């Protein structure tokens, strides 16, 4: 097994957030890469169950009782019986960066057979600029061995700050239930050696399985919505966050990268169970996407929280007619921001250099 680099990058500036209901055995495989970092475990499901964390990890663990205690009535915005609860971890973190990973994701190997330090690659992605205003055909120009191609305007070569690094998955790909049902045996075996910035104005499906972000730049927008117990929908938590995040990043001039690193996704969830969860989402998505594609944020929205509150108003105004769920979701979005601001008082909270609060 590969050993980590001598000084782990951002050791004291990054938290690893892991939602779980089962166990954390998968951490053993990640030990060489994760052990230097602080973990935030968000335990979903039955709080009376004890989740065993492997020896030697520095962590804090929150179960449902903790979430209720810390947030009080505002805990209603945190999902129950769904990995969407992980966003509670983002809220309580005190670090600049977050890496979140599912407990069925393992270390993958690159084409040379070496173990991939996914965390390392995410950090590289976040610490180098993005290029959302002009597509570079050789992908991330800041990677070693690459650069901007002929015709790429020099004035755009400084890039913008990267807010999100979206990684991918070998083995079980992140397909929806209908696709899983039609292609139960398909495995992602293609290692695409690229990182690229998703252009401004383009939406994408953000998967929360292998995701890193700059909490100071975009944290308040990473709300994973109302899913799971008592909700009409599931498996759209990360999608919802991704659409909000992309609209806000586009508005604030921040970048979103996708591509490397790969992790090895080992568990294929039950497609019939998934279908029940996703069912409404498949229809609602047809309304949701045009909503986000046409969402415009006024220039007075100069920080993430303002953008997010404004989005919640637009959700209430335009999506409530699709289903009353969106009314509840819009309220939950506001509750989330209130909770975020309470746990992250100004001075440490995300604010961009525009001056006014």
Nearer to other proteins, 86 or 166 (CB): 166
- Least distance in angstroms from the C-beta of 158 to other proteins: 13
Measured in degrees and rounded to the nearest 5, phi and psi for residue 177 equal -60, -45
- Which pair of tokens denotes residue 2? 């590969």
Cβ contacts of 260 within 8 Å, gap of 6 or more: 121, 125, 167, 168, 192, 193, 194, 195
Take residue 6 and report the two structure tokens written for it: 């001598």
Report, in Å, the least distance between residue 110 CB and other proteins. 12
Quick one: which of 91, 110, 128 has its CA closest to 262? Answer: 110
- For other proteins, which is the closer residue by CB, 145 or 347? 145
Strand-pair partners of 59: 39
CB of 172 vs other proteins, minimal distance in Å: 11
Q: Please, are residues 42 and 85 in contact by the beta-carbon 8 Å criterion?
A: yes
Choice between 73 and 153, CB closer to other proteins: 153
Burial environment of residue 330 by CB neighbours within 10 A (0 to 12, 13 to 18, 19 or more): buried
Comparison of 176 and 214: residue with beta carbon closer to other proteins: 176
Looking at beta carbons only, is 59 or 135 nearer to other proteins?
135
Q: Which is nearer to other proteins, 24 or 319 (CB)?
A: 319
Sign of CA dihedral 184, 239, 343, 251: positive
Torsion of CA 173, 178, 179, 182, to 10 degrees: 130
CB of 222 to other proteins, least distance (A): 16
Q: What is the binding site for other proteins (CB under 8 A)?
A: 111, 133-139, 145-156, 166, 168, 173-176, 179, 182-183, 186-194, 198-207, 235-236, 238-239, 242, 258, 278, 282, 285-286, 289, 293
Q: Is 258 left (phi over 0), alpha (psi -120 to 50) or beta?
A: beta
Residue 311 CA to residue 333 CA, distance in Å, equals 9
Closer by beta carbon to other proteins, 50 or else 293: 293
Shortest distance, position 36 Cβ to other proteins, whole Å = 29
Decide whether 48 or 155 has the Cβ nearer to other proteins: 155
CB of 90 to other proteins, least distance (A): 20
CB of 306 to other proteins, least distance (A): 25
Phi, psi of 132 (to 5 degrees): -80, -10
Cis ω for the linkage preceding 236 (within 30 of 0): no
Asked if 132 and 199 touch (Cβ cutoff 8 Å), the reply is: yes
CB nearer to other proteins: give 272 or 348: 272
Listed residue (159, 121, 138) closest to 5, CA to CA:
121
| Main-chain phi, psi angles of 52, to 5 degrees | -85, 125
Q: Strand, coil or helix: what is 236?
A: coil
Residue matched to tokens 């969106």? 326
Nearest distance from C-beta of residue 62 to other proteins, angstroms: 27
> What is the closest distance, in whole angstroms, from the C-beta atom of residue 289 to other proteins in the complex?
5
């Amino acid at each position: 097994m590969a050993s980590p680099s001598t000084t782990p990058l951002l050791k004291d500036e990054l938290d690893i957030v892991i939602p779980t209901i089962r166990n954390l055995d998968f951490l053993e495989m990640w030990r060489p890469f994760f052990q230097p970092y602080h973990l935030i475990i968000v335990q979903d499901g039955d709080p009376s169950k004890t989740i065993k964390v492997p020896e030697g990890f520095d962590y804090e663990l929150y179960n449902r009782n903790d979430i209720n205690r810390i947030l009080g009535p505002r805990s209603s915005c945190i999902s129950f019986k769904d990995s969407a609860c992980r966003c509670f971890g983002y809220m309580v973190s005190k670090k600049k960066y977050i890496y979140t990973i599912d407990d069925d994701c393992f270390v993958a190997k690159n084409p040379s057979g070496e173990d991939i330090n996914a965390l390392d690659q995410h950090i590289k992605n976040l610490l180098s600029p993005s290029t959302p205003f002009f597509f570079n055909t050789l992908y991330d120009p800041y990677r070693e061995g690459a650069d901007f191609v002929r015709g790429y305007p020099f004035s755009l070569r400084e890039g913008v700050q990267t807010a999100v690094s979206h990684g991918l998955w070998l083995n079980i790909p992140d397909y929806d239930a209908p696709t899983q049902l039609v292609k139960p045996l398909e495995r992602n075996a293609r290692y695409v050696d690229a990182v690229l910035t998703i252009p401004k104005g383009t939406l994408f499906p953000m998967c929360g399985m292998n995701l890193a972000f700059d909490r100071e730049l975009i944290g308040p927008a990473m709300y994973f919505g109302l899913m799971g117990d008592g909700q009409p929908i599931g498996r759209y938590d990360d999608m919802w966050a991704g659409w909000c995040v992309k609209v806000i990043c586009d508005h604030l001039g921040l970048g979103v990268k996708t591509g490397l690193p790969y992790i090895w996704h080992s568990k294929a969830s039950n497609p019939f169970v998934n279908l029940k969860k996703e069912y409404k989402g498949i229809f609602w998505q047809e309304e949701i996407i045009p909503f986000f594609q046409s969402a415009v944020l006024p220039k007075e929205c100069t920080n993430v929280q303002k953008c997010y509150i404004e989005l919640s108003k637009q959700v209430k105004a335009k999506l409530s007619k699709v289903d009353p769920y969106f009314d509840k979701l819009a309220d939950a979005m506001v509750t989330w921001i209130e909770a975020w601001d309470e746990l992250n008082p100004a001075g440490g909270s995300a604010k961009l250099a525009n001056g006014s609060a």
